[in-house]
Amino acid sequence: MTDHLEEKFHALGSQEPVVPDYPDQDHVLIIEDDQRLAELTRDYLEANGFRVTLEADGAKGVDRILNLQPDLVILDLMLPGEDGLAICRRVRPNFAGPIMMLTARTDDLDQVLGLEMGADDYVPKPVQPRVLLARMRALLRRADGPTADGEMRLKFEHLEIDNATREAWLSGERIDLTSAEFDLLWLLARNAGRVLTREEIFSDLRGIKYDGQDRSIDVRVSRIRPKIGDDPNQPHRIKTVRSKGYLFVKDS
């Protein structure tokens, strides 16, 4: 697998680097025990304008994330010392940046668990270098702040959502949301009263087509509901519309 990726990284490395979207270097922490793969990824990302730190030991992963506070973490699922799921779960209360989880395993359960632990994206290996770069930039664009959505603050009874600060409050108490959870909540809220299909959600948030199988949106909705005071068993704010998608209910 690494040999296959090495060919792709070297082939892309011989081309002109893609001009970065960001004037300042974003700091990426890669926690990966495959040294060759980690170094190839680092070299490719550095050629495309990123500053990269490597860590191979899962046992040191939590401290590295919390101490460095990088702009983005690329986290392997299977690591010596402590696996990626445990690291993700432990850092989430004190790290708000995007976490991209990588794994050679394709089990849907691993994807669901990763998202439930707070990962923002889940990418199976081997991943095309340009795809990795595009998905990283998509995560960083959303984490960097709001786009031109018009209204920056929305209020629904006891729930307030501010796209300028990327924060939400329930009855005045700040809600603990990951970057991906906030993006989905804001998308649903600014389309309140309209059913959003999974195809529309995937296109807006990830820039890719919905494959009919990815459960990441469903997992995030299930995590958001209790945080905004919605009953997961009988939701009144974010409703599932069978065979279609989700409806954020306006105030009556």
* pTM of the entire predicted model: 0.62
Place of tokens 């190839």: 40
Whether the pLDDT of residue 40 is over 80: the answer is: yes
What secondary structure, in 3-state letters, does the chain show? CHHHHHHHHHHHHCCCCCCCCCCCCCEEEEECCCHHHHHHHHHHHHHCCCEEEEECCHHHHHHHHHHHCCCEEEEECCCCCCCHHHHHHHHHHHCCCCEEEEECCCCHHHHHHHHHCCCCEEEECCCCHHHHHHHHHHHHHHHHCCCCCCCCEEEECCEEEECCCCEEEECCEECCCCHHHHHHHHHHHHCCCCEEEHHHHHHHHHCCCCCCCCCHHHHHHHHHHHHCCCCCCCCCCEEEECCCEEEECCCC
Share of the chain above pLDDT 90, in %: 41
* Model pLDDT, residue 179: 80
Average pLDDT, integer, range 12-23: 44
Tell me yes or no: is domain 27-144 CATH 3.40.50.10480: no
* Residue extent(s) of CATH 3.40.50.2300 domains in the chain: 27-144
* Model pLDDT, residue 22: 43
pLDDT tens digits along 62-93: 999 999 999 999 999 889 889 988 998 899 88
Class level of CATH domain 153-248: mainly alpha
* Model pLDDT, residue 130: 87
* Model pLDDT, residue 178: 82
User: Which stretch of 22-26, 81-85, 187-191, 226-230 has the lowest confidence by average pLDDT?
Assistant: 22-26
* Residue extent(s) of CATH 1.10.10.10 domains in the chain: 153-248
* Model pLDDT, residue 169: 94
